[in-house]
Structure 1
Amino acid sequence: MVRMAEALERLEKLAASPIVSTLSRAFAEAEYELALVGGPVRDAILGRTVNDFDFTTNARPDDILRIVTPISDAQWDIGREFGTIGARIHGETIEITTYRADTYDGVTRKPVVAFGDTLTGDLSRRDFTVNAMALRLPQNALEDPTGGFQDLADHTLRTPIEPAVSFGDDPLRMMRAARFSSQLDFTVDEDARAAITEMTASIENISAERVQAELSKLLLTDNPRPGIELLVDTGLADIVLPELPALRLEADEHHHHKDVYQHSLTVLEQAISYEHERHPGAEPDLVLRWAALLHDIGKPATRKLGPGGTVSFYHHDLVGSKLAKKRLGALRYDTATIKAVGRLVELHMRFFGYTEAAWADSAVRRYVRDAGDLLERLHMLTRADVTTRNRRKADRLAFAYDDLEARIAELAEQEELDAVRPDLDGNQIQQILGIAPGREVGEAYRWLLELRLDEGPLGPEVAAERLHAWWAARGSAE
């Protein structure tokens, strides 16, 4: 329960911090208004750590820059067009924005900047009431014209104005509703939820880059499930991530299989749990989380209904990898992220062959070689993919993966498995065979790599003998 007295006490402490107090004095001396606004106020009231400092003022950008220059180590005016000036004060990066009264052009949904004159007017244009509170400085007075404090107490996300108007101004706010529902563990109020459902098509007016940013922020929360479910239930996901709602496969009375959509959400939750377990306090792993959410998106396209109620999804890993890369590409993710997520989706089924028959050392080496620097993520994804309620089966799979990881560690200690390479490099191959650079060197290198994976390290001399024999046999065959 959020109590006003406790909230005001926390805000007083925040106002006394070096950054806030320094800015407060500077703007008061220059006879301009200043208020700490949005997320920092919300988080301070909730007793959460305040990581970002956002301020708003009636000063125009040139005046802001003039005021902060003497008290800051650096300044940035890249957002001057939108009224925002950045600065570094006491080692922290802050942003100060002129009061806004945005309107939107109705086509691209880009804001047409109109500077405002009042703090109340500025707050009314924000996305949700819980983000529309401000701490007026230096008075340390809480400004809450839209009832954000009560909504914090009620754990409710509500728009300061009519939801249809707010979302019409900026449709990305519908996705922010999903993100904040996960980040804050709040419920989107019925009117806002209904408006999202009615207005899903308007998200198509938002650039892929802005959609991508919101999806990333959602996935990087500690509990992304509520936000993802909101995207799917309202229909937003049908537009921004259609492969996800497609996982809600229908089952008939003769063919039954687990709910792939709910399974995927559980895998995501379990992957996050493994992430925290293995790397406590580390930054969230976006690649792992995308791979966990998308690992089964190839199933709808590969589902086959067989006799006796059987259902199969052959090659869903390969199909899913292609779909994942295509979707992340459409969302304008960077090449490294797309490649890593696609590779994890492609490899996520590989381990299950280990439970069917004991792997030779060569198979273990190939598993490591194919995973490359994604090996630890593959470990976590594969373990997270076990969601069976059959305790006996779950224990068997966990034991098998424990055994595989132990074998990987043992082989790595024996032969530096993390950097599996042939015993001879390209230059040595050319010298031994007396050939020039070209296709044949590559063929010899790949043959030596397979030999290395099958038999482990042989040493340069033995590898050279085996290479000569392979070359001679190859020449005879040709």
Structure 2
Amino acid sequence: MFRALPSEVHDLGALFEEAGQELAMVGGPVRDAVLGRSSADLDFTTSALPDQTEEILRRWTHGRAIWDMGREFGTLGATRDGVKVEITTYRTESYDPASRKPEVAFGDTLDGDLSRRDFTVNAMAVRLPSLEFVDPFDGLRDLAASLLRTPVAPEQSFDDDPLRMMRAVRFVSQLGFTIEPGTAEAIRSLAPRIEIVSAERVRDELVKLLVGAHPRRGLELLVELGLAEHVLPELPALRLERDEHHHHKDVYEHTLTVLDQAIDLESPAGSGGPCEAPDPVLRLAAIMHDVGKPATRRFEPGGQVTFRFHETVGARMTTKRMKTLAFDKETTKAVSRLVELHLRFHGYADSGWTDSAVRRYVTDAGPLLQHLHRLTRADVTTRNRRKANALARAYDDLEKRIDELAEREEIERIRPDLDGNQIMRILDLAPGREVGQAYSYLLEQRMEDGPLGEEEAERRLREWWASRTPSAEA
């Protein structure tokens, strides 16, 4: 299987051998090759120090540019004819108890380097150019068993790099692996140590978990092993005690089911359709949509349980958590908005909507409309088939009305019938607050009554302007 490596890789191995240095492909590319998968990026480890690696890489690339942003950690990279490689000097590393960054020391043997890898399935190597397979920790056996186990004692491994605990859960999601019991117990006991890892690194592992093939199992383990308490505490908080009359669902299980159903509603990967799989915004919204429920739960007379305004509270909580995890502003805003809007449809299901209400629904969702469609449908987890079918029919009807209005009115791009320049000309105004107020008034009219035409819009604008009083302005 390794003979099929690109010729550029064999050339690279020959150059290192010629220089009297060892080179081995390691980690994910070796694991993936054994599984019959290809890797776009190839990782290597070497006995050469960074300056020596740089000299060899320049020969390999025929003088073309290399990158050395990771030189501090012994890592350099280069590309030749589409083959991308990253090469790291043999090393050992550990975390100071109060530090977020690893302390790096270069090692001198391949086995020693492999011993510091996260899991045995990633502690296999292929020496180049000989193609000798190296597996000192039985990673091949664990790979066949789909088992995650650390090369050294798990307590040492996770103490050295706490992010490995998140990686374990992520590999469960991505590859369908299980975690060896002793390794799982070490995660449970060391879970608080994840807090020394930077928010950005934790976020990246969480996103990889969410877009994996088995995200529900990954999240369940995140909770079961105690990691969620430190990286996503809103999720375990959903495990509310059932009230004695069972008047509300198990919110935690409901959330995981919503995630499963939202994933089922994604467009196929590579299709170019809306919410193409895997869609991290949709999946994050599914997880966070009910996080406001614990804070808003009230026991009403008669044993009824309510969660009034949990969507508003949940949107604020979502924004706060995503900022803590260093998500970008656009993603944070999108997920929080979906959480805020996820209950809006239920008013339609209860009493039907005017065209004005439909316009507002579409305008409030904006570019997230397709995500909102899917989140709303996924949020139906009732076992009452009659109720579920009624909700599905109601949402089918809403989507049909949206399509009809969109065809007539270009509903996704709703604007007042007059723009700011026209408003200033008609009312003889300079740019300022009053123009904005007039614009908002016309937008409200447009929402309520649909397209008015410029003549009717001007008539209403002049009438509104004339009716304004000093007290109204104040």
TM score, norm. by length of structure 1: 0.94
Corresponding residue number in structure 2 for 1:299? 293
Aligned-residue identity in percent: 60
Corresponding residue number in structure 2 for 1:41? 30
Displacement of 1:109: 4.6
The residue identity in structure 1 corresponding to 2:393 is: F
Displacement of 1:70: 3.5
1:262 to 238, 250, 253: 253
Q: Does residue 225 of the first structure (1) align with residue 219 of the second (2)?
A: no
Cα distance in 2 for partners of 1:92, 1:262 equals 44
Displacement of 1:27: 2.1
Give the alignment of 1:345-424 within 5 angstroms. 345-424=339-418
Question: Secondary structure of the equivalent of 1:355?
Answer: helix
The residue identity in structure 2 corresponding to 1:262 is: E
Corresponding residue number in structure 2 for 1:468? 462
Q: Does residue 22 of the first structure (1) align with residue 14 of the second (2)?
A: no
Displacement of 1:215: 1.0
Cα distance in 2 for partners of 1:322, 1:243 equals 12
Structure 2 vs 1, CA of residues 372 and 441 (structure 1 numbering), >3 Å: closer, same or farther?
Answer: same
TM score, norm. by length of structure 2: 0.95
Question: Secondary structure of the equivalent of 2:92?
Answer: coil
1:338 to 325, 328, 332: 332
Corresponding residue number in structure 2 for 1:7? none
Displacement of 1:252: 3.1
Q: Does residue 309 of the first structure (1) align with residue 300 of the second (2)?
A: no
Give the alignment of 1:102-251 within 5 angstroms. 102-251=93-242
Q: Which runs of 4 or more aligned residues in structure 1 lie more than 6 Å from their structure 2 counterparts after TM superposition?
A: none
Cα distance in 2 for partners of 1:396, 1:283 equals 27
Cα distance in 1 for partners of 2:269, 2:401 equals 19
Cα distance in 2 for partners of 1:336, 1:29 equals 50
Displacement of 1:276: 3.6
CA contact (8 A) 2:268 2:277 kept: no
In the alignment, structure 2 segments of 5+ residues that lack a partner are: none
Cα distance in 2 for partners of 1:112, 1:52 equals 25
Displacement of 1:425: 1.1
Cα deviation 1:336-378 (Å, max 9, x = unaligned): 1111111010000001111111211111110111011111111
Cα distance in 2 for partners of 1:401, 1:23 equals 59
Cα distance in 2 for partners of 1:320, 1:272 equals 21
Displacement of 1:278: 8.3
Displacement of 1:123: 0.3
2:72 to 81, 88, 96: 81
Displacement of 1:25: 2.8
CA contact (8 A) 2:40 2:84 kept: no
Question: Secondary structure of the equivalent of 1:225?
Answer: helix
Displacement of 1:385: 1.0
1:434 to 415, 428, 434: 428
Structure 2 vs 1, CA of residues 19 and 402 (structure 1 numbering), >3 Å: closer, same or farther?
Answer: farther
Cα distance in 2 for partners of 1:71, 1:49 equals 22
2:39 to 44, 50, 59: 50
The residue identity in structure 1 corresponding to 2:21 is: Y
Displacement of 1:105: 2.6
Displacement of 1:269: 1.7
CA contact (8 A) 1:295 1:320 kept: yes
Cα distance in 1 for partners of 2:386, 2:129 equals 63
Cα distance in 2 for partners of 1:241, 1:156 equals 25
2:55 to 34, 48, 66: 66
CA contact (8 A) 2:262 2:375 kept: yes
May I ask how many residue pairs the two structures share in their alignment?
A: 467
Corresponding residue number in structure 2 for 1:272? 263
Cα deviation 1:9-55 (Å, max 9, x = unaligned): x3332x3x234223223323333211111001111111233232111
Cα distance in 1 for partners of 2:8, 2:213 equals 28
Cα distance in 1 for partners of 2:409, 2:15 equals 63
Q: Does residue 290 of the first structure (1) align with residue 284 of the second (2)?
A: yes
Displacement of 1:400: 1.6
Cα distance in 2 for partners of 1:307, 1:280 equals 51
Displacement of 1:234: 1.4
Cα deviation 1:418-456 (Å, max 9, x = unaligned): 111101111211110112222211111111001111111
The residue identity in structure 1 corresponding to 2:381 is: T
Question: Secondary structure of the equivalent of 2:136?
Answer: coil
Q: Does residue 96 of the first structure (1) align with residue 87 of the second (2)?
A: yes
Displacement of 1:255: 4.0
Displacement of 1:74: 3.4
Cα deviation 1:216-270 (Å, max 9, x = unaligned): 1111212211111111111111111111100000013234321111111111122
In the alignment, structure 1 segments of 5+ residues that lack a partner are: 1-9
CA contact (8 A) 1:249 1:260 kept: yes
Displacement of 1:307: 3.3
Question: Secondary structure of the equivalent of 1:145?
Answer: coil
Corresponding residue number in structure 2 for 1:4? none
CA contact (8 A) 1:365 1:417 kept: yes
The residue identity in structure 1 corresponding to 2:94 is: T
Question: Secondary structure of the equivalent of 2:156?
Answer: helix
Cα distance in 2 for partners of 1:374, 1:342 equals 11
Cα deviation 1:128-153 (Å, max 9, x = unaligned): 00110111111112111011111011
The residue identity in structure 1 corresponding to 2:193 is: S
Cα distance in 1 for partners of 2:201, 2:38 equals 26
Give the aligned CA root-mean-square deviation in angstroms.
Answer: 1.7
